[in-house]
Chains A and B, each alone.
Chain A
């Protein structure tokens, strides 16, 4: 070993020793602070991997353009009338698609060693999960805002104005927060991030099409219509339309919130249990 190498190594070691010696353990942070720190982590990921956001916003914008200009005239008589009908539904679709990624990113974490580190820390156990969903809600808001802005650019004008748009967006985000626990469970049960993505979209894609997002169910055959009517996605889309129009539909809003609460009540405890035992 040359003198030069051993000199640098000694220098390194001295710096390492100083770094090791210089810490006293601070008091534990609170639960909320811990969850918010994990939320910050989620947002950093949005910043570093914006493609993920692109995936979930581009598809709904494509649907918006395609349905409005290709089928809008045929379905609703004119493109502007169709835009009026379908935009609140596309808002729902856009944000719900984003929730699949909550499960995907949870699964990605699990296949890496980083979760082991989190679990070896003296922190409030559910904080990583809650925090990443907090971070995800930021993604939901961005996805929803994009679709509303594109809609407005194409001529969509909600009767209830900005307040209506904000209220619908808030309702969809709250619903997604409940639904995302379901995808977290998928994320914990399935083997790979891709499997979560495939299973997630295989479920949510047909459910979105078998709802009133794109077409008025009055035109559908009986049994299909019955399904569409009870599909929670239809209920949520109806609630959003009513908020956009300034004529809030109490039942639809109530049912949407209840479904979200129900999803969270079932899948949140399941998520924490599975997370702990992995």
Chain B
């Protein structure tokens, strides 16, 4: 064995099927302790199902998983003692107040009444929901609900936390707030398994990423390796004159990288490995007299990652075995 750090999650060949649907088709994961590990994949890839198996909510049909050293099937109770789950649907009680939710969790975890109340107030304060503590959760905004949800997960600090799409549907400010909380948790020693559809989120938080598609891991590596395999992103430009798009595409293709025509007839983008080349591309466009309405340099989207990794976009994936690539192998 050359593994030095203990693994927080070690899953081998996890499978879960629902009737004709194979939700998870054999997933292997090795998540080191003390980090954020991102599971990145489009809607329906099997992220939630994987989390539900690891959090002991459902039994795998095949394969095994150990979480913090305990088997998720035979030692489910020992797993539950050390993890907490912030599900994709907010896992809080809408018909109770925020404070009641936290007191309830405290009591269920064994805090005495007074400590449960004190703990609830401390968390409400820290998470910026003290003002709405007495309101029913169904009247909360999405961001408040999500923060309460995370607070409910750390009434007793877990050693490992499952975060399932914590920022889907949140505005940028709430999203940043959630990210801050996740970073603080990891700084205090909690391991986080983060499921997300956003490469940017995985890039911001995760130390390692597994990309999954149709229930399988199709790539894994650090965010840097992942992005290097797709380029840092794309230069998006929108022209003043849509008629000049073919000309602009040819030009960018030469100066920057593969150009893609977008749905907007005046817009196109070019794969771009660094910002200098983007600047060259913009200069070339200016020299050719092609006016721009606007331009931006974006991180690769999940679609672009998928295109690069699998040769097919994340949606409308053709059936058949997706190729498995390991980024470590590619980059070394």
B154 at the interface (CB under 8 A from A): yes
Does the CB pair A16–B77 fall under 8 Å? no
For the side of the interface on B, what is the size category? 35 or more
Does the CB pair A117–B92 fall under 8 Å? yes
- A8-35 contact mask (Cβ, 8 Å, vs B): 1 or 0: 0100110111111111111111000110
Contacts of B157 in A (CB 8 A): 20-21, 23, 25
B210 at the interface (CB under 8 A from A): no
Contacts of B97 in A (CB 8 A): 48
Interface of A is mostly: helix
Q: Please report which residues of chain B, range 184-205, place their CB below 8 angstroms from some CB of chain A when the two chains form the complex.
A: 184-185, 187-188, 190
CB < 8 Å neighbour of B126 from A19, A25, A33: A19
9-residue interface stretch from B8-16, B106-114, B226-234, B241-249? B106-114
Chain B's nearest CB lies how many Å from the CB of A227? Answer: 39
A230 at the interface (CB under 8 A from B): no
CA gap between A23 and B157 in the complex, in Å: 6
Does the CB pair B155–A23 fall under 8 Å? yes
Contacts of B105 in A (CB 8 A): 117, 121
CA gap between A18 and B92 in the complex, in Å: 23
Contacts of A12 in B (CB 8 A): 126, 128, 177, 180
Contacts of B328 in A (CB 8 A): none
Does the CB pair A21–B108 fall under 8 Å? no
A114 at the interface (CB under 8 A from B): yes
Does the CB pair A37–B108 fall under 8 Å? yes
Does the CB pair A117–B156 fall under 8 Å? no
Does the CB pair A16–B181 fall under 8 Å? yes
Does the CB pair B122–A19 fall under 8 Å? yes
CB < 8 Å neighbour of B89 from A9, A21, A116: A116
Chain A's nearest CB lies how many Å from the CB of B85? Answer: 4
CB < 8 Å neighbour of B107 from A20, A25, A29: A29
- Chain B residue nearest to A10 in the complex (CB): B180
Contacts of B81 in A (CB 8 A): 25, 122
For the side of the interface on A, what is the size category? 35 or more
Chain A's nearest CB lies how many Å from the CB of B16? Answer: 13
Contacts of A15 in B (CB 8 A): 125-126
A218 at the interface (CB under 8 A from B): no
Does the CB pair A122–B104 fall under 8 Å? no
CA gap between A49 and B137 in the complex, in Å: 13
A120 at the interface (CB under 8 A from B): yes
Does the CB pair B95–A49 fall under 8 Å? yes
Does the CB pair B184–A17 fall under 8 Å? yes
B152 at the interface (CB under 8 A from A): yes
Does the CB pair A27–B110 fall under 8 Å? yes
CA gap between A123 and B110 in the complex, in Å: 10
A45 at the interface (CB under 8 A from B): yes
CB < 8 Å neighbour of B77 from A25, A26, A122: A122
Does the CB pair B96–A45 fall under 8 Å? yes
Contacts of A41 in B (CB 8 A): 93, 96, 104
B140 at the interface (CB under 8 A from A): no
Q: Which of A16, A23, A41 has the most chain B CB within a 10 Å cutoff?
A: A16
B266 at the interface (CB under 8 A from A): no
**Chain B residues in the interface with A (C-beta under 8 A):** 52, 55-57, 77, 80-81, 83-85, 87-97, 100, 104-105, 107-112, 115, 119, 122-123, 125-128, 136, 152, 154-157, 176-177, 180-181, 183-185, 187-188, 190
Q: List the 5 closest pairs (A to B, CB-CB), nearest first.
A: A113-B89, A117-B91, A26-B110, A113-B91, A15-B126
Q: Please name 10 further chain A to chain B contacts, defined as beta carbons within 8 Å, in addition to the given A21-B188, A25-B157, A116-B85, sorted by A numbering.
A: A12-B126, A12-B177, A12-B180, A23-B157, A24-B156, A28-B109, A28-B110, A44-B95, A112-B90, A122-B80
16 contacts between A and B (CB under 8 A): A12-B177, A13-B183, A17-B184, A23-B154, A23-B156, A25-B157, A28-B109, A44-B96, A113-B91, A116-B55, A116-B91, A117-B91, A117-B152, A118-B108, A122-B80, A122-B109
**Chain A residues in the interface with B (C-beta under 8 A):** 9, 12-13, 15-29, 33-34, 37, 40-41, 44-45, 48-49, 112-114, 116-123
